[in-house]
Chains A and B, each alone.
Chain A
Amino acid sequence: MLGYLLKRLIQMTLVLWVVSVIVFLMMSFTGDPVFMVVPIDASDAEIAQARRLLGLDDSLPVQYWKFLTSLLQGDFGRSYVFRQPAMTLILERMPATVELVLVAMALAIAVAIPLGVYAGANPQSRISRVIMAGSLLGISLPGFWIGMVLIYLFAVHWGIFPSSGRGDTVEIFGIRLSILTWDGWTHIVLPAVTLSLATMAIILRITRAGMMEVGRQDFMKFARAKGATRGDVLYKHGLKNALIPVVTIFGLQLGDLIAFATITETIFSWPGMGKLLIDSIYRADRPVIVVYLMLVALIFVVINFLVDVIYMLIDPRIRLK
């Protein structure tokens, strides 16, 4: 286990380093950030001064070296646009995103697993076909379209939910949460539903496939023969054995949604960090992009590690090496 952890740690460091190099190289093609900051009629002297203030007067390798050395001292650099520490900018927006994603994922599981088990156990039934058709819609309809339709119907037309924003929040240990207030819940419903649909559809389809596969195994018949109820057979024997791919996909989707919930956040003006990434790309704000993508890489590494641990819990035959 210790060896495994160490190996993972080395892998992670390598991944983070590669991400930082790629982003630095990429950013040399996306235009000069200094022109995003100075007025368009700035004189050469004014531009030189801005360049100096932003630390852009060094060559790219020197900038990268400075970035690496201050990184090792815990300084992640400053946004060119906001002139604030890049890490602070990301972290202050992160709780909103994580909260939204967790609600969306919980919703996705709560709906997808039972429906998937049902459709897998009764592949021929009419309801199963309706579920599968619905899941196809969930995969193929784009999020921004669903978001706009939900806003139009539930906010503008029926007035049940507000159209945008995060609503009232409660602060706990310095982290602001909206799921602890009623107003917060009314705000989170529409974006969470929008965000969850695609994941819901994928998990549903994988659960169904797994259940169909497992259903053909002998131990399922034996379980039924030894007198387990149908529900027990499906959920305890069947689902548990079908769960490994579901957990894998769940982990990947979780990371993906936390990192790139951008579109849903933009549509619902959800004050999360995905919008920061897009804005930063438009503004060529390299420090924020680098730190953001490194953080995303870290999130993926951690989630995959947790997924591996969960494998062990689900199937004791699996060992981490």
Chain B
Amino acid sequence: MKHTPKAALRTGVLSATVLALTAGLAVAQEKSVTIGLTADPSHLYPLAGEELSSNIMYYHLYDPLVKRSPDLTFGPGLAESWENVDETTWRFKLREGVTFHNGNAFTADDVVFTVEKARESIRPDLVANIASITAVDDLTVEITTPAPYAVLPNDLAELLILDEDYTTETGDEQMDLQPMGTGPYMLEEWIKEERLVLTAFDDYWAGEPTIDQVTFRPITNPATRTAALLTGEVDVIQDLSVRDVERVKSEEGFKVLTRPSLLNVVLAMDTRAESPTIEGENPMTDQRVREAIARAIDVDAINQIVMNGLATPSDQFVPSSHIGYVDGMNFREMYPLDIEKAQELMAEAGYADGFTMTLDATNDRYVNDAQIAQALASMLAKINIDLQLNIMPKSNFWGYIRVPTEQSSFIMSGWDVPAGDAGSMYGALFYTRDKKEGYGQVNRGSYSNPEVDALVDQADATPSIEERDRILQEATRLLLADIPMIPVHYEQDIYAAREGVSLTPRVDKFIWAYDMDVE
């Protein structure tokens, strides 16, 4: 790079080197990295809410009992090991010698406190599958679940442990500004909307972090984010704009990193006898009509034209890393683009002349969401479905489409399951509505299939992961045949970095400096 603005010179690398040299010591160079994010975090207190930037901060500052790896495997975190005492009771052995940033020891009481605190907070969903928790001794907790629940450890990967004494003393509001966890980094400075600086916690239980100082800068405008990378003001950027990909690739000294995300963009079809935006009876109660719609949608064209090739067409409802994924099954091969076949199916079902309905979609939630909706309208026109578009910002959308979904027939939204398990998704999206508390609450198409319900029940009643996987795979087969919903594609996460930064994008998008290195 020809020009190095002063901003880059300012950063710790240089001053630290100078210091080390003047001291005449051969100490290792202080490493620092600056990361350009799309937004400033809203919170530093894990029980105050969740969104991506906040999540990224949480996992630097705090630790969960169970740690989620970059590719969604689950292993020991603050808990060293765990076992099932009986079908609904779990015993977690906690790690010894872990301290919070203020020096307080981490004990079983902190875990119990965190669970109880979460229940009263805005995130009771974090502990929805915990019936009770008790501290057996200082380093052992016993958790019971309301029913056998094989994936409890996966859920616990999202519960970040708080320091009981400190949190009680500090209060919820100040916790957002003065976080205190056991994580690999401590908060150094947070100037809202400008920068958030973390420094390494040298006593971190898994070993001192390689990078000593991490600075996060919120740069909302995508073009500015690219510019900040190219000028050397930041080392890594999140969410490189699609139109800048070629530009950054062609620039010497920079690299582009991509990874399919977990976010599956899906189309939910109403299966009630009468649907709010369709006149007369609802054609989509007929599986053939649903199949025709699936066959009329050219996912590859959407990928090439709307998404610039930066999407991965979905093969099932969950990615291959998840429990419940069926190897070798592919929605795209089951129902490839075939307009003639789709027309035949429509005719067989008695809808050769098509029908009119409305698609509800967002314009600020998913990558190019409004354009995808427009593309769908022209694709479905080929099988005589007159698709009206009802596009709105996400602040209106979630309330509008909410179950009991009294205004929608056809909805485009996204779904991701960072817990690595199809069960919670199937339970929420496909379980018959109003049948069981905590199930079917997002079943916007009012899909109801007793066989699927039974399989979800079975999966949620077995304490064995293998058994759960087998049962959920069966549910996947049923659902792919019955098509209550059309999976479209996974968005691609795109990062860019200068050469010399080693970064492996995580499936859950949580950039984690502890796993990074810089030269």
Residues of A within 8 A of B437 (CB): 43
In the complex, are the beta carbons of A53 and B122 less than 8 A apart? yes
Residues of B within 8 A of A163 (CB): 224, 227-228, 231, 233
Cross-chain contact of B172 among A83, A187, A269, A284 (Cβ < 8 A) = A83
- A164-B3 contact given A30-B396, A43-B437, CB 8 Å threshold: no
Q: How far is the CB of B374 from chain A (nearest CB, A)?
A: 22
Cross-chain contact of B7 among A49, A148, A156, A167 (Cβ < 8 A) = A167
Chain B CB count within 10 A is highest, among A81, A159, A164, for A164
Instruction: Give Cα distance in the complex from A267 to B233, angstroms.
Output: 15
Is A58 engaged at the interface, CB distance under 8 Å to the other chain?
A: no
In the complex, are the beta carbons of B396 and A164 less than 8 A apart? no
Cross-chain contact of A183 among B10, B194, B220 (Cβ < 8 A) = B10
- A186-B233 contact given A49-B122, A275-B193, CB 8 Å threshold: no
Is A168 engaged at the interface, CB distance under 8 Å to the other chain?
A: yes
Residues of B within 8 A of A42 (CB): 125, 441
A window 142-163: CB within 8 A of B: 148, 151-152, 155-156, 158-163
Instruction: Give Cα distance in the complex from A282 to B220, angstroms.
Output: 14
Is B428 engaged at the interface, CB distance under 8 Å to the other chain?
A: yes
In the complex, are the beta carbons of B399 and A35 less than 8 A apart? yes
Instruction: Give Cα distance in the complex from A279 to B38, angstroms.
Output: 12
Is B48 engaged at the interface, CB distance under 8 Å to the other chain?
A: yes
Residues of A within 8 A of B398 (CB): 31-32, 35-36, 40
In the complex, are the beta carbons of A32 and B399 less than 8 A apart? yes
Residue of A nearest to B227 (CB): A163
- A269-B42 contact given A148-B223, A165-B195, CB 8 Å threshold: no
Is B500 engaged at the interface, CB distance under 8 Å to the other chain?
A: no
Cross-chain contact of A269 among B122, B128, B176, B219 (Cβ < 8 A) = B219
Cross-chain contact of A165 among B43, B48, B217, B400 (Cβ < 8 A) = B217
In the complex, are the beta carbons of A31 and B395 less than 8 A apart? yes
Instruction: Give Cα distance in the complex from A36 to B10, angstroms.
Output: 38
Instruction: Give Cα distance in the complex from A39 to B39, angstroms.
Output: 19
Instruction: Give Cα distance in the complex from A282 to B394, angstroms.
Output: 8
Q: How far is the CB of B244 from chain A (nearest CB, A)?
A: 11
Number of interface residues of B (CB under 8 A): 56
Instruction: Give Cα distance in the complex from A263 to B10, angstroms.
Output: 27
Is B250 engaged at the interface, CB distance under 8 Å to the other chain?
A: no
Instruction: Give Cα distance in the complex from A268 to B217, angstroms.
Output: 12
Cross-chain contact of A37 among B122, B221, B364, B441 (Cβ < 8 A) = B122
Q: How far is the CB of A158 from chain B (nearest CB, A)?
A: 7
Is A82 engaged at the interface, CB distance under 8 Å to the other chain?
A: yes
In the complex, are the beta carbons of B396 and A81 less than 8 A apart? no
In the complex, are the beta carbons of B7 and A30 less than 8 A apart? no
Instruction: Give Cα distance in the complex from A72 to B173, angstroms.
Output: 22
Chain B CB count within 10 A is highest, among A45, A81, A162, for A162
Residue of B nearest to A269 (CB): B219
Instruction: Give Cα distance in the complex from A167 to B400, angstroms.
Output: 42
B window 203-235: CB within 8 A of A: 217-221, 223-224, 227-228, 230-231, 233
Q: For chains A and B in complex, what number of residue pairs have CB atoms within 8 angstroms?
A: 154
Cross-chain contact of B194 among A39, A50, A148, A271 (Cβ < 8 A) = A271
Instruction: Give Cα distance in the complex from A283 to B365, angstroms.
Output: 12
Q: How far is the CB of A283 from chain B (nearest CB, A)?
A: 6
Instruction: Give Cα distance in the complex from A50 to B223, angstroms.
Output: 36
Residues of A within 8 A of B395 (CB): 30-31, 33, 35-36, 281-284
Residues of B within 8 A of A82 (CB): 42-43, 176
In the complex, are the beta carbons of B4 and A151 less than 8 A apart? no
Is A46 engaged at the interface, CB distance under 8 Å to the other chain?
A: yes
Is A93 engaged at the interface, CB distance under 8 Å to the other chain?
A: yes
- A268-B122 contact given A43-B437, A82-B43, CB 8 Å threshold: no
Q: How far is the CB of A69 from chain B (nearest CB, A)?
A: 21
Instruction: Give Cα distance in the complex from A281 to B2, angstroms.
Output: 41
In the complex, are the beta carbons of A165 and B7 less than 8 A apart? yes
In the complex, are the beta carbons of B233 and A162 less than 8 A apart? yes
Is B442 engaged at the interface, CB distance under 8 Å to the other chain?
A: yes
Residues of A within 8 A of B399 (CB): 31-32, 35
In the complex, are the beta carbons of B220 and A269 less than 8 A apart? yes
- A41-B442 contact given A30-B396, A282-B364, CB 8 Å threshold: yes
In the complex, are the beta carbons of B228 and A40 less than 8 A apart? no
Chain A CB count within 10 A is highest, among B48, B123, B224, for B224
Residue of A nearest to B4 (CB): A159
A window 256-284: CB within 8 A of B: 266-269, 271-272, 275-276, 279, 281-284
Cross-chain contact of A155 among B172, B176, B219, B227 (Cβ < 8 A) = B227
Residues of A within 8 A of B4 (CB): 159
When each residue 23-55 of chain B gets 1 if its CB lies under 8 Å from chain A and 0 otherwise, what string results? 000000000000000010011000011100000
Residue of A nearest to B195 (CB): A165
Is B249 engaged at the interface, CB distance under 8 Å to the other chain?
A: no
- A162-B43 contact given A35-B402, A83-B176, CB 8 Å threshold: no
Instruction: Give Cα distance in the complex from A31 to B399, angstroms.
Output: 6
A window 6-44: CB within 8 A of B: 30-33, 35-44
Residue of A nearest to B39 (CB): A279
Q: How far is the CB of B465 from chain A (nearest CB, A)?
A: 22
In the complex, are the beta carbons of A93 and B220 less than 8 A apart? no
In the complex, are the beta carbons of B217 and A83 less than 8 A apart? no
Is A63 engaged at the interface, CB distance under 8 Å to the other chain?
A: no
In the complex, are the beta carbons of A43 and B441 less than 8 A apart? yes
Is B393 engaged at the interface, CB distance under 8 Å to the other chain?
A: yes
Residues of B within 8 A of A152 (CB): 227
Cross-chain contact of B125 among A39, A53, A151, A271 (Cβ < 8 A) = A39
- A186-B6 contact given A164-B224, A269-B218, CB 8 Å threshold: yes
Instruction: Give Cα distance in the complex from A44 to B439, angstroms.
Output: 11
Residues of A within 8 A of B50 (CB): 39
Instruction: Give Cα distance in the complex from A38 to B396, angstroms.
Output: 14
Q: How far is the CB of A27 from chain B (nearest CB, A)?
A: 10
Is A208 engaged at the interface, CB distance under 8 Å to the other chain?
A: no
Is A232 engaged at the interface, CB distance under 8 Å to the other chain?
A: no
Residue of A nearest to B177 (CB): A84
Residues of A within 8 A of B191 (CB): 176, 271
Q: How far is the CB of A110 from chain B (nearest CB, A)?
A: 25
Instruction: Give Cα distance in the complex from A282 to B48, angstroms.
Output: 19
Is A205 engaged at the interface, CB distance under 8 Å to the other chain?
A: no
In the complex, are the beta carbons of A151 and B124 less than 8 A apart? no
Is B450 engaged at the interface, CB distance under 8 Å to the other chain?
A: no
Q: How far is the CB of A71 from chain B (nearest CB, A)?
A: 19
Residues of A within 8 A of B231 (CB): 155-156, 159, 162-163
A-B residue pairs in contact (CB < 8 Å), sample of 11:
A31-B393, A35-B395, A38-B125, A43-B437, A84-B173, A151-B223, A163-B228, A165-B233, A269-B220, A269-B224, A282-B395
Which A positions have Cβ atoms within 8 angstroms of B? 30-33, 35-46, 49-50, 53-54, 81-84, 89, 92-93, 96, 148, 151-152, 155-156, 158-168, 176, 183, 186-187, 266-269, 271-272, 275-276, 279, 281-284
| The 3 residue pairs across chains A and B that have the minimum distance between CB atoms | A159-B3, A271-B193, A35-B398
New contact pairs (14) apart from A163-B231, A269-B220, CB-CB < 8 Å: A31-B400, A35-B398, A35-B402, A38-B122, A45-B124, A81-B49, A151-B227, A152-B227, A164-B224, A165-B194, A183-B6, A183-B10, A266-B220, A282-B395
